Amino acid sequence: SVYTPEVLANRSWERQAESLIACYNAISSQGIVKAVDAQPFSLSAPEKLSGPDAVNRWVRYIVKMHILVTGGAGYIGSVATRMLLDAGFQVRVLDDLSTGHRDAVPTDAEFVQVSILDELDQHMKGIDAVMHFAGKSLVGESMQKPDLYWSVNRDGSENLINAMKRNGISKLVFSSSAATYGEPTSIPIKEDAVTLPTNVYGETKLAVDQLLAANSQWLSSVSLRYFNVAVIRFKPQSQN
């Protein structure tokens, strides 16, 4: 069956719940979302579905996945954390605050000050997936302090991945970099272009990408090889 917002809006809330639970339990077998059961829907009825955002509001009610965000006090990590929370996810942020800022972490996220080089098993409890933004990111500094970059970026990521494996967490989004490609031979750079990093920063990011590939038998991962990132967030204006 196709469950559009319009179809769901014409059903009782119990039937709406039943339909969406069936959908999400079905796709959860593919590892897309966390499985749910019907018990919460016998307790109280949420608002009636109506309008184009109906399914999204039901997703927030039904599925409360818990996401671990490393580097969540940094620029990209803190924005990702805010977006996850706005989408209805629970978020735990890990950051050692070596470059991040505590006040950048949304107050409704759980925060733990810890390095990705530390023992991480205790912070994996209840986690469904990981978004990994933690790491050193200055190209010039990477050439001056290569050991630091290999330790934090490569070894820290391996430590995180090993903790995920021990705790049965198999989904990871990794903040990689276009620096893995080095000097491009053609523009635009294609995803499958040759990777020839020209600095230690790019080398460490490529090493983590290769680490993810080496663990692909059990780990479902995505690497984001972006350039410079800029974000503008607008707060909705009051309708009053």
Q: How far apart are CA 95 and CA 113, in angstroms?
A: 5
- Residues in a beta bridge with 40: none
3-state helix, strand, coil in the chain (%, to 5): 40, 10, 50
- Residues with active-site annotation: 201
How would you class 18 by CB atoms within 10 Å of its CB: exposed for 0-12, middle for 13-18, buried for 19 or more?
middle
Using omega within 30 degrees of 0 as the cis cutoff, is the peptide bond preceding 188 cis?
Answer: yes
**Burial environment of residue 213 by CB neighbours within 10 A (0 to 12, 13 to 18, 19 or more):** exposed
Both tokens of 150, joined, read 């290999």
Angstrom distance (rounded) from CA 214 to CA 240: 55
